[in-house]
Amino acid sequence: MGDYLLMMVTAIFANNVLLIRFLGLCPFVGVSSNLSSSFGMSGAALFVCVLASAITWNVYHFLLVPLQLEYLRTVSFILVIASLVQLVEIVMQKTAPALYRALGIYLPLITTNCMIFGVAVLNIQEEHSFLDTVIYAFAAALGFCLALIILGGIRERFALGRVPTMMQGFPAALITAGIMALCFYGFIGLGQ
Amino acid sequence: MSTFFQEFSKGLWKEVPPFRFVLGLCPVLAVTASVSSALGLGCGVIFVLLVANTLVSTFRDFIPNKIRVPVFIVIIASAVTIVELTMEAYFYTLYEVLGIWIPLIVVNCLILGRSEAFARKNPVHLAIADGLGMGLGFTISLCLLASIREIFGAGTWFGLQVMPSAYLGFELLQRPPGAFICLGLLLALMNLVSARLEKPQETC
């Protein structure tokens, strides 16, 4: 139990997928301009990430390894993730049309979100067991949500202040993210 | 020929990724702690972009519109697998350093973005020009950022000492937070430069 707690804390803070490992930056700067879309994106990413990691782990260990097709890892994982995202998109369109409209372009972009794919590959590379995989995916996605929501909150405040023209938009968001990364970097001793 | 060159050169300044299109940022930040890894990843991206653009453009009339994205992704993933296996066989140290970032080329928005926005609507030779230009622009940007981070962060360039040996190195630049801040400042600088360049044209 203690091991899992440690793994979660490390994955959320010390090895934050977004700020320390740089996975999933496109939605990070893209949808984080206000809090509500940050929340929507986080929810979608959390759901897809856990599901995708669980499925790809099974695909790898029960399909690719017995058939000695490990080199097809990249192709098969990306296909699994792409169809999963399509599924989430259809379900969301029916059940939460407002959220669907708010997320717009970024929902299909979860397919090319490095975070989902990266966590799936990391789970294979680190030789996690199935339970480890699910917990790690959950914790990593939680770290992603945390960073995304914090940045969303900060950027909402930007609207009130005067930002120099050349710094507007992406540059300011990136520098804010840098300062946040500096804070998260302080957690790095936590896991040891 | 002029359109060929036009498509090629737009990737180098006018639409240079990742600065103009803020796409495919993740590897930009992750591999730029040293110039050699940035160059290695850049070459991988050029190859994948070229293969993906060529194939997508060749088969653009045969790919059903509804399932085009999965088709693009399979093409890209196959190209990435080629890069991955080649690097593992011939450039093992680079393969070790880049690690997870080689399979992650597949989810680089830049590549899917070019297939979707350009290659599926244009003839093959233009798609090749676009792929080469965008890939080259991406690699140059990566190397620029990596040079700044390596020279000021560690005092070396391609692993060679360039700063005086007494130079201690600005450690922050080598670390993740430094990557964000450095890229943010570069983007701001680029906005400033292009704003300056555009001003005289308006008065003409």
Q: What interface predicted TM-score (ipTM) does this complex get?
A: 0.81
Closest residue in chain A to residue B19, using alpha carbons only: A170
- Which class for A3: exposed (0-12), middle (13-18), buried (19 or more C-beta within 10 A)? exposed
- Identify whether A6 is part of a domain: no
pLDDT tens digits, B10-63: 777 777 777 766 667 778 888 888 898 999 999 999 999 999 999 999 988 888
Q: With 50 as the cut, is the pLDDT of residue B203 above it?
A: no
How far the first Cα of chain B sits from its last, in Å, is 29
**Smallest Cα distance from A19 to chain B, Å:** 7
What value, to the nearest 5°, has the Cα angle with vertex B108 and ends B138 and B141? 15
- Identify whether A71 is part of a domain: yes
Tell me if B29 and A179 make a contact (CB, 8 A cut-off). Answer: no
Tokens 């990435």, residue? B80
Q: Which residue, among A21, A86, A87, A112, would best test binding to B if mutated, counting the most B CBs under 10 Å from its CB?
A: A112
pTM, whole model, 2 decimals?
0.84
pLDDT tens digits, B141-175: 889 889 988 888 888 888 778 777 777 778 888 88
Read off the pLDDT band of B65 (50, 70, 90).
confident
**CA-based torsion, B159, B163, B165, B168: positive or negative:** negative
Q: How many residues does chain B have?
A: 204
Provide the number of structural domains found in chain A.
1
State yes or no: cis peptide before B27, omega within 30 of 0. Answer: no
- Identify whether A20 is part of a domain: yes
How far the first Cα of chain A sits from its last, in Å, is 16
H or E, element range at B161: strand B160-161
Tokens 């440690």, residue? A6
CB atoms within 10 A of CB A83: 13
Distance from C-alpha of B203 to C-alpha of B126, rounded to nearest angstrom? 33
- Identify whether A127 is part of a domain: yes
Rounded to an integer, the average pLDDT of A37-61 is 85
Structure tokens at A107: 């929902």
- Identify whether A62 is part of a domain: yes
Q: What is the DSSP letter of A24?
A: S
Range of the domain at A71: 11-189
Task: Using an 8 Å CB-CB cutoff, list residues of chain B that contact chain A.
Answer: 22-27, 29-30, 69-70, 73-74, 77-78, 80-81, 84-85, 99-100, 103-104, 106-109, 112, 172, 175-181, 183-185, 187-189, 191-192, 195
- Identify whether A121 is part of a domain: yes
- Identify whether A49 is part of a domain: yes
HSE-up of residue B162 (Cα within 13 Å, Cβ side): 14
Cα dihedral: B152, B149, B141, B40 (round 10):
120
Which one, of A168, A185, A183, A145, lies nearest residue A32 by Cα?
A145
Domain ranges of chain B: 2-203
Q: With 50 as the cut, is the pLDDT of residue B109 above it?
A: yes
- Identify whether A5 is part of a domain: no
Contacts of A20 in chain B (CB under 8 A): 176
